[in-house]
Structure formats: structure tokens, C-alpha cells
Chain A
Amino acid sequence: MSRRRLPLGIWIRLVVLSVGCFAVLMPVVWMVLTSLKSAGQVFVTPPIWVFSPQWHNYAEVFELVPFQRYILNTATIVGLVVLGTLLSCSFSAYGFARLKAPGRNAIFMVLMATLMLPTTVTLVPTYIVFNHLGWLNTFKPLILPAYFGTAFFIFLFRQFFLGIPRELEEAARIDGAGYLRIWWAIFLPLSWPVIATVTVFTFIAAYNDFFGPVIYLSDESKYTIAVALSYFSGSPRIGPQIHLTMAATTIAALPSILVFLLAQRYFIRGIAVSGVNK
């Protein structure tokens, strides 16, 4: 596209969008810049923009707090949550999309209605039950619910399954395949776009979750990245060292940003569906 041919309206849009973009990305830039400053440079007013980057700040974060531990904890929880969500949601969605049974549609409606249910309403009793089971300070309360389906993702899988031609499974049934085989060997391999969308969404949600980990995990060795980060500014080890706090924040923000940048189209598709189809 040659520059000359751009109409004035487009130029105005570009200028407005660039200014807005600058403002929106500023906090991220500021975070990264601060994370590379030395302890002294952080407290210079007005803020300095040119300095030699102190990359060792990042290494220092790993030395001061057991960040590897937090990464491992988070990876365990997020991995198992993603797996459980994919299995349980696609499994249930197959029943909702393809198999007829009395009461099925009513159950589906109730399930969809729970999308409006704020998590705070179910929080206290769930906590009490997990406490009775002796599961506090374990990952179980954070992982287990993922194996019982999530309304929105069941909805996404069901929508996709409804569009798969019936001839495919009829052929398989003639060959003697049962419903389990059909779900596993025909429907799942066909639905990779939904699998990708659900994976990305679940990853971001589980990775960013704070309320769950903060009430269930009390032992520092069990912390997720989000919980550990929230205690940083007051912690005796990092305390008021803003440059280190910002380095830790940058590390914490990186996985969600990377996943978003790598899997943008699935992400955008999922959001688009959520807004338009309801």
C-alpha cells in the first residue's frame, strides 16, 4: 500500500490509534524499564529513560525467592486444569450435542444459566467442604473442579460438535464403533480449533487465578506465581526493592503474554463466540 493513496480519514485514525497505543502500552514499558534499573535509578525524579540495563536483576529474583518452585507449582496446576477441562467438557458436550435422553435439554439450560452465577456465592461452602476433606494447602481444590466441566467450554464444544456431519459417525457405527470410540476417535480429532481455543482460555484463566490459590494454599512452598507475587511488596526478602518486584512482575506476566501472542486467533475466536452467540 503506497503512502500517498491513504485517505485523510485513515491518517487521522492512525494518529489517534498510535497515541492511544502509546498510552495503553506505557505501563508495560514502565514495568520492563523499571525491572532493568539499578536500585538507585528507580528513585530518581523525574524518571530516567536511558540507562544501562541491569539484566542480573532477573537472576537476583530467582536467588531471593524460590521462583522455580512457584513456576513448577503453577505449571502443575495449570497443566492438570487444562487437561481436565478439555476431557470433561468435550465428553459432556458430545452427550449434549449428539445423544438424546429425557431431560437433557433442561439440564443444558440450567448449566448455561450458571454462567451468570458469581463465584463468590459458591465460594464459602466449597471452601468448607474442601477443609473437611483435609484438602487445604493442597492443589486438589484448584484442580479437581476442572474435571467436572465448565459451562462456557461445554457450550463451545457443543456448538462445534453440532456442525460435524452425522454421516461420519453413522459410518463408524456401522463399523461397530461405540459412542466412546466415536467421541475419542472421530469428534476429538476433528475439533482441534475448539481444543486450541479452550486450551488458551483455560491456560490464561488458571494461570491468572488468584482468589482460589490465595485461600487454599497457605504454605509458601505451595504458592503459585500469582500468590507469591502478591506477597512480594511486603515480603522481608524483596521488600521495597521496586526494581526486583518489577522484574518478578515481568516474569509473571510473560507466560500469558506469550500464549496470547502465539495463539491470538483462537483467543479472538473464543471471545467473539462468547459475545455473539448468547
Chain B
Amino acid sequence: MTQQRVVVRPVADRPSVSRSPRPRLTMTRRQALWCYVFIAPAVLGLLLFSLGPMIASLGLSFTSYDMLTSPIWTGTENYGALFADPIFRKSLGVTLIYGVVSVPATLVIALVLAILLNAKLPGLKFFRSAYYLPSVISGVAVAMVWKWMFNGEYGLVNAALAKVGLQGPAWLTDEQWALRALIFMSLWGFGGTMLIYLAGLQGVPKELYEAARVDGASTFRQHLHVTVPMLSTVTLFNLVMGIINSLQVFAEPFVLTQGGPNNSTLLLSVYLYQNAFEYLKMGYASAIAWVAFAIILVLTLLVFRSTPMWVHTATEDDR
């Protein structure tokens, strides 16, 4: 089947080793066939586990389906219901606050630490590993540790606050504080972002700092006017990935609070889980997934659209 579709490539540009064109044609054809064999797992994976389910979930989002009876086509009913659903609107708001605070805060912490760690220092390897360490610990283990850290009566957070004379709240069981605790905990995972910044810092030409220093710029201003713009493509990458991740965070809120108290930490992925696997509302859950996906697409597009204003693309005269 594939054989008939293979395009016969012009052989004129090939070095003219004296061979008849026939075996050469079969050579390219053979190579193409083998190429399809080699990329077959990836193509199948793409169809079976990415594109296929993606289209299927879009289709499902227009149905009512409980996995017991056949799906019923309901048109845009799920989407209408979603936006009338106060819990969904709350969940959307919670996710938005989580993302808007957690992502930029992570970027700032990661960048500052990357700058501090980008120098010849005694104990450098230790510091880099230590700062990255929390990021390899699983979401569940992280959530278990912080659940205990945030314990209102015996937790370390409130013990530390008591040391400076403050009475800490009950954090995870207090509607006012649970989301803040979750966001605070999320900052613990800045390690990956920090390492990406560190890698990016290796590519910033040293001469730029020299030039800034000659102009009398302080260290802070050097970083503000050299490091930050030079790393803007890295920031772009980290920002887009941060947005995608914050709409996917699941283990931490699920283990820490199960979305409570009073849905104050109900991130979209947790609400999706509840609908799909607790209430078996597969169509509704798919609609939630697609709204989240649409938000990611719009935000990513906005970020890319805004890049001319803040992303500095390397040109020849940077070198």
C-alpha cells in the first residue's frame, strides 16, 4: 500500500556513481519503507494516545456519557451547563489565582537562584543539588510532607511563626488559607525552572557584563539590563510550560485537600477527576478538559503575541 504512494525522487543531484537508475530508485523506495517501519511506533502512539483521544474527547464533550449506557448527543449542553455551574466557575477562579501567583513567583525565585549559583563558589555542586532536590520528590510525597508542615497545631510552619510571635492559621482546613498554602508549597518545585535558567546563563556572553560594568552599572542593574533580556527566550519557554503545568497540577491538591475546604483549592484537574471518576460524567469531564485546553491555547497565543515587546531574539551583534 505504501509502495504506491512513494514519490520517485529525482536522481540527478546524486553523485553519478556508475549504476543504472533502477536499483537507485528501489534504494530510495526501500529507504522510505524502512523509514515508515522505524517511525511506526511513534506514529501509532501519536494516533492512539494523542490525536485520537484528543478528537474523541472533543466529540465526547458534546455528549452525555456515564460508561454504562451509550453516549447521548447533547450538542453544546455540557458547555452551557459548565458556565452556569458555580463550582466550575469557582474552580476556574481558583486555578487562575494559582497560576497567576505560582508561575511568576516560581520564575522569579528560579532566576534569582540561577544567577546566584552561576559563579565560581565553594560548595557550588552541593548548593545546586540541594536546591534541585525537592523537585525530584513525587507529588504525593511532597503533599504528605507539607500536609504535616501545615498542620495547624503541631506543624513546623506554625511553630516557626510562633517563634516570631505570630499565631498561624489552620492552613489546609481554613478556607481563607488553603489555596495560599497550596501555592506556597508549589514554589518548592522551582528546581526544574532554575536548572533551565542556569543552562541559559551559560550562553550569555561575558563581554556584555564587562560593558555594563564599564558604564558604571551596579550588579543589580547589570542583571536587569543584561541577564533578564538575554534570558527572555528561556523565560518564554518556562512561562509557557508553567501555564500548561498549572492547569495540570493534580497530585498535590488531591492529596492535600481533595479540593476543599468548601472547594477553595478545587483546581480544574481535581474537578475533572471528580466528574469523570467519581460521578462518571465523562462528557462533562471532557468539556472541562477542553475548556482547560482552550485556556492554555489562548494564554500561550497571548504570550507568543506579546513576545515582540519583551523577548530579545539573539542577533549577530550580540556575539
Binding site for B on A (CB under 8 A): 1, 6, 9-10, 13-14, 16-17, 20-21, 24-28, 30-31, 34, 42-47, 88-89, 91-92, 94-96, 99-102, 104, 107, 110-111, 114, 116-129, 131, 145, 147-150, 154, 179, 183, 204, 207-208, 210-211, 214-215, 226-227, 229-230, 232-233, 242, 245-246, 249, 252-253, 256-257, 259-261, 264, 267-268, 271-272, 274-276, 278
CB <8 Å contact, A107 and B39:
yes
Please give, as numbers and ranges, the residues of chain A lying within 8 Å of B156 by CB-CB distance: 26-27, 30, 47
8 A Cβ contacts from B183-229 to A? 188, 192, 195-200, 203, 219
Q: Which of A99, A119, A150, A268 contacts B195 (CB 8 A)?
A: A268
CB <8 Å contact, B238 and A210:
no
Q: Is the interface of A mostly helix, strand, loop or mixed?
A: helix
Tell me if B182 is interfacial: C-beta within 8 Å of chain A: no
Report the nearest B residue to A256, measured CB to CB.
Answer: B136
Cα(A90)–Cα(B208), bound, Å: 40
Q: Which of A9, A14, A24, A208 contacts B131 (CB 8 A)?
A: A24
8 A Cβ contacts from B98-134 to A? 113, 116-117, 119, 121-123, 127-134
Chain B nearest CB, measured from A16 CB (Å)? 6
Q: Which of A25, A150, A267, A271 contacts B196 (CB 8 A)?
A: A271
Known: A99-B34, A116-B296. A121 touches B140 (CB 8 A): no
Tell me if B53 is interfacial: C-beta within 8 Å of chain A: yes
Q: Which of A17, A101, A121, A204 contacts B121 (CB 8 A)?
A: A17
Chain A nearest CB, measured from B77 CB (Å)? 17
Query: Can you list 26 A-B pairs with a CB-CB distance of less than 8 A?
Result: A14-B122, A17-B117, A24-B131, A26-B156, A27-B145, A28-B133, A94-B38, A95-B36, A99-B32, A100-B35, A117-B293, A121-B57, A121-B289, A122-B57, A125-B60, A131-B67, A208-B139, A229-B144, A242-B148, A242-B154, A246-B148, A260-B132, A271-B199, A272-B195, A272-B198, A275-B238
Q: Which of A10, A91, A111, A120 contacts B248 (CB 8 A)?
A: A120
Known: A99-B31, A210-B139, A275-B200. A121 touches B145 (CB 8 A): no
Please give, as numbers and ranges, the residues of chain B lying within 8 Å of A214 by CB-CB distance: 254
CB <8 Å contact, B237 and A121:
no
CB <8 Å contact, A27 and B134:
yes
Known: A148-B44, A276-B200. A127 touches B134 (CB 8 A): no
CB <8 Å contact, B129 and A104:
no
Chain B nearest CB, measured from A71 CB (Å)? 14
Known: A13-B119, A14-B121, A47-B154. A276 touches B46 (CB 8 A): no
Known: A229-B144, A232-B144. A256 touches B35 (CB 8 A): no
Known: A125-B60, A127-B276, A208-B138. A1 touches B45 (CB 8 A): no
CB <8 Å contact, A275 and B145:
no
Number of A-B contacts (CB under 8 A): 291
Report the nearest A residue to B196, measured CB to CB.
Answer: A275
Cα(A208)–Cα(B296), bound, Å: 24
CB <8 Å contact, A264 and B129:
yes
CB <8 Å contact, A211 and B251:
yes
CB <8 Å contact, B5 and A102:
yes
CB <8 Å contact, A275 and B293:
no
Chain A nearest CB, measured from B62 CB (Å)? 13
Tell me if B17 is interfacial: C-beta within 8 Å of chain A: no
Please give, as numbers and ranges, the residues of chain B lying within 8 Å of A34 by CB-CB distance: 148
Further contacts, 20 of them, CB under 8 A, given A92-B39, A260-B132: A10-B121, A16-B116, A17-B116, A95-B36, A99-B38, A114-B51, A117-B54, A118-B289, A120-B248, A121-B292, A125-B60, A179-B34, A208-B138, A215-B277, A229-B140, A233-B147, A252-B141, A268-B199, A271-B195, A275-B237
